[in-house]
Structure 1
Amino acid sequence: MTAARRVFVVEADGGSRGNPGPAGYGAVVKDSASGETLRETAEFIGRATNNVAEYRGLLAGLRAARELDPEAAVLVRMDSKLVVEQMSGRWKIKHPDMRPLATEAKTVYPPEAVTYEWIPRAENKHADRLANEAMDAGKRGEQWDPGSSSAELAAGAPTSAGSAAAADSAAPAATGPGSASGSGPDPAAEREQAAPAPRVGWGPDLGTPTTFVLLRHGETPLTPEKRFSGSGGSDPALSAVGRRQAAAVAESLAARGTIQAVVASPLRRCQETAAAVAERLGLSVRTEEGLRETDFGAWEGLTFAEVRERHPEDLQAWLTSTAARPTGGGESFETVAGRVALARDKLLARYASRTVLAVTHVTPVKTLVRLALGAPPDSLFRMELSAASLSAVAYYADGNASVRLLNDTAHLRS
């Protein structure tokens, strides 16, 4: 006899304290027959809208279920009418931040294996608690720790004023009814979606933006050989070429005279590049752990061709999903995006309305640009970023961001 197909229930939620604002999601996978909790997941995702956080929760819940059994059938239960109706195909997905998330969610399981059900907020307390644990962790400058979670135990208690639901309902009235996933949503309003539309043309003066000038470190001996060089490898120093590049960018930035602070990844190549620039500008260097490069696991020090030869299946998975990790316990791009977004929010709070030089690596720079553009995760593979290149992103008081520069290397040609 054929074994009965396993059935999971995925409950997911997300919230934003500000809409957009500091955001997080939570998701739980349960056995449909016993109700037993099989997996919990949550994450602080930096600045986002309620709806984006809800979609991120859905995506995380589906991925967690797939890790348990890729052949299972899944019932998704959420208190977001918007997500349920859009994923069920009854409402169109208009907002550009949500379309790629919805598309990715549809690829986790075959469409016929997943059904969606709207539930009242009171029936989604477990996921709500997880989302709030993630947001609370983000407020402390940390990521959610599953070992310290009490969401399942607390789910039976009434939702507190600090919950994702409360945070949603406290959002400015201008966000509209769709910003909260509460009971009795107005379907017409939710179709319009909660995320504020990008400003087009001239708008009110929002004051001086916070600007990140993003500098990729200079060359190391591994750079011209195109070897994976992340957080888990040999931590190489700058080469002679890299030191000349650092000096060149220092002169260029000194001539512009706009940098007010310097922060850098803890890795040696960034510290050396930052030190050269900071000395020229008469500034000190502050280390920001969240700006370090991806940990490439067992791929550290290898070329792309060597990885393709030794770990072809892992490499293919990594190239097709930002949730995939390199061989040997490295970091997924999804994980890196979480910590980079957290570092971004910390720096925005610390250096409001100032221009900051952030000396970092390929992945963090591309991630900050991607997040500013609202581009899909796989856009990381479509950006070129040279050693010692400059990029820039300006962040405004209304939550919008503007990419001002990408991969500028003019200072290296003089």
Structure 2
Amino acid sequence: MSAGSRRLIVEADGGSRGNPGPAGYGALVLDAASGEVLAERAEAIGRATNNVAEYRGLIAGLRAARELAPDATVRVRMDSKLVVEQMSGRWKIKHPDMRPLAAEAREIFPPGAVRYEWIPRAENGHADRLANEAMDAAKRGESWSPGNSTAQLAAPARSAGPAGDPAEPAEAAGSDERAGTAGATGTTEASTTAPPAAGWGADQGTATTFVLLRHGETALTPQKRFSGSGADPELSEAGRRQAAAAAAHLAARGTVQAVVTSPALRCRQTAGTVADALGLKPRIEDDLRETDFGAWEGLSFAEVRERHPEDLAAWLRSPKAEPTGGGESFAAVSRRTAVARDRMIARFAGRTVLVVSHVTPIKSLVRLALGAPPDALFRMELSAASLSAVAYYADGAASMRLFNDTAHLR
């Protein structure tokens, strides 16, 4: 190759839902100097193994690069150790399905024009996303095309409301009796420093995405009663239907890789329904539990105002105030929710995680991601079994992707 030949980067990935099972690949070509994405390729390839899909992604990426610049020098970046080592000549190709694919890949560019580099899976998120979008589109009976890909619910990381689970005062937020009040989730050190805006600046790698699912209805939800960690109602019949609808929706998307839930029964029932549909096992995170509303548990907002007017007024003024009877302040909820967030980001780095929780923790996560003040919680409505999504990046930036989506319930 001449010294002036163009330098390109190919990133490729493939996947199989079953191995073998419904499979697809994704690939992109970047300009090595600027990092600009020059081409994207993705396709569902029917039933195949992961390795076959990865090779097909490599071939598609190399062909796209050749179309752009036949005399280019190419650096291939993949998280498949098998493909990288086999194409680099360090490992023998023993499987009969791999040999013709490797030979096809070698013929696209002249010898010496392509070199291979293994990268961690977290750095190959763009190609992985393309592969999953192609498989998702095929499942819906559609074809994938660049620029027409579906947004992630994530797809890729990770609330409070005065009324807790039934979204009681939370859903009354914005009414005259709440206008101008403070008091929601307290601030933490992490929430007082605004992170850089996601998407503005250097490549931040693959995000950790939280798909936030509020549990389905209980008997208390339609009555808008305080229902925190001091009570543990089960899902109502309507709540079970909502959980099933959320499960079907998320299973059809196929992007969730792990499920984490509050220890509350209503959350565990919701998470269990979704996890069964996804073939996953829920993990319990205690700090995702709802606020302890003390003596207010089971009461309506009007009943609390009548019985405990001074305590309620103080609670509305300050995030550090506690409900009557030694309940939990929103400042305390915010702190433990932030701790849970950080634990989950560390545990599930670069993955899409379904987080099943309650009004207060979910709104807290949203508020902290947006860098909004505590009283922002009174201006959010979070419906039962609704979906929200936040993506978290390695540099601390967060990107809000979705909020209070209930389309799957209709």
TM-score if structure 2 supplies the norm length? Answer: 0.53
Where does residue 71 of structure 1 map in the other structure?
none
Q: Distance in 1 between matches of 2:285 and 2:221?
A: 22
1:203-235 Cα offsets, whole Å, 9 max, x none, are: 2221110000000000000000001000012x0
Residue identity matched to 1:344 = R
* Post-superposition offset of 1:195: 5.5
Where does residue 407 of structure 1 map in the other structure?
404
Q: Are residue 324 (structure 1) and residue 295 (structure 2) matched?
A: no
* Post-superposition offset of 1:201: 6.0
Q: Distance in 2 between matches of 1:223 and 1:350?
A: 32
1:116-157 Cα offsets, whole Å, 9 max, x none, are: xxxxxxxxxxxxxxxxxx99xxxxxxxxxxxxxxxxxxxxxx
Q: Distance in 2 between matches of 1:199 and 1:306?
A: 43
1:268-287 alignment runs, 5 A limit: 268-287=265-284
Question: Among residues 193, 207, 210, which one is paired with 1:209 in the alignment?
Answer: 207
Residue identity matched to 1:299 = W
Q: Are residue 370 (structure 1) and residue 367 (structure 2) matched?
A: yes
CA 1:386/1:257 → structure 2, altered by over 3 Å: closer, same or farther? same
Q: Distance in 2 between matches of 1:200 and 1:344?
A: 18
Residue identity matched to 2:290 = E
Q: Distance in 2 between matches of 1:292 and 1:243?
A: 19
1:46-61 alignment runs, 5 A limit: none
**Could you tell me whether the CA contact under 8 Å between 2:260 and 2:284 is conserved in 1?**
yes
Residue identity matched to 2:234 = A
Where does residue 398 of structure 1 map in the other structure?
395
Q: Unaligned 5+ residue runs, structure 1?
A: 1-103, 105-133, 136-193
What is the number of residues matched between the two proteins?
Answer: 223
Q: Are residue 349 (structure 1) and residue 334 (structure 2) matched?
A: no
Where does residue 118 of structure 2 map in the other structure?
none
Q: Distance in 1 between matches of 2:360 and 2:195?
A: 28
CA 1:196/1:367 → structure 2, altered by over 3 Å: closer, same or farther? closer
Where does residue 303 of structure 1 map in the other structure?
300
Where does residue 261 of structure 2 map in the other structure?
264
* Post-superposition offset of 1:398: 1.0
Q: Distance in 1 between matches of 2:397 and 2:233?
A: 36
* Post-superposition offset of 1:319: 1.1
Residue identity matched to 2:253 = R
1:35-68 Cα offsets, whole Å, 9 max, x none, are: xxxxxxxxxxxxxxxxxxxxxxxxxxxxxxxxxx
Q: What do you get for the CA RMSD once the two structures are aligned?
A: 2.0
Residue identity matched to 2:365 = L
Residue identity matched to 1:327 = T
CA 1:265/1:256 → structure 2, altered by over 3 Å: closer, same or farther? same
1:40-51 alignment runs, 5 A limit: none
Residue identity matched to 1:272 = Q
Q: Secondary structure at the match of 2:345?
A: helix
Quote the sequence identity (%). Answer: 73
1:164-313 alignment runs, 5 A limit: 198-199=196-197, 202-233=200-231, 235-313=232-310
Q: Distance in 2 between matches of 1:268 and 1:330?
A: 20
Q: Secondary structure at the match of 1:322?
A: coil
Larger Rg: 2
Q: Distance in 1 between matches of 2:338 and 2:198?
A: 25
Q: Secondary structure at the match of 1:338?
A: helix
Residue identity matched to 2:334 = A
Whose helix fraction is larger, Structure 1's or Structure 2's? 1
Q: Distance in 2 between matches of 1:269 and 1:371?
A: 25
Q: Secondary structure at the match of 2:390?
A: strand
Q: Secondary structure at the match of 1:404?
A: strand
1:186-215 Cα offsets, whole Å, 9 max, x none, are: xxxxxxxx9576237642221110000000
**Could you tell me whether the CA contact under 8 Å between 2:228 and 2:290 is conserved in 1?**
yes
Residue identity matched to 2:263 = P
Residue identity matched to 1:360 = S
Q: Distance in 2 between matches of 1:382 and 1:292?
A: 21
The structure, 1 or 2, with the larger RCO (C-alpha pairs under 8 Å, 6+ apart) is 2
Q: Secondary structure at the match of 2:335?
A: helix
1:104-115 alignment runs, 5 A limit: none
Please list every run of at least 4 consecutive aligned residues from structure 1 whose deviation after the TM superposition is greater than 2 angstroms.
194-203
Q: Secondary structure at the match of 2:204?
A: coil
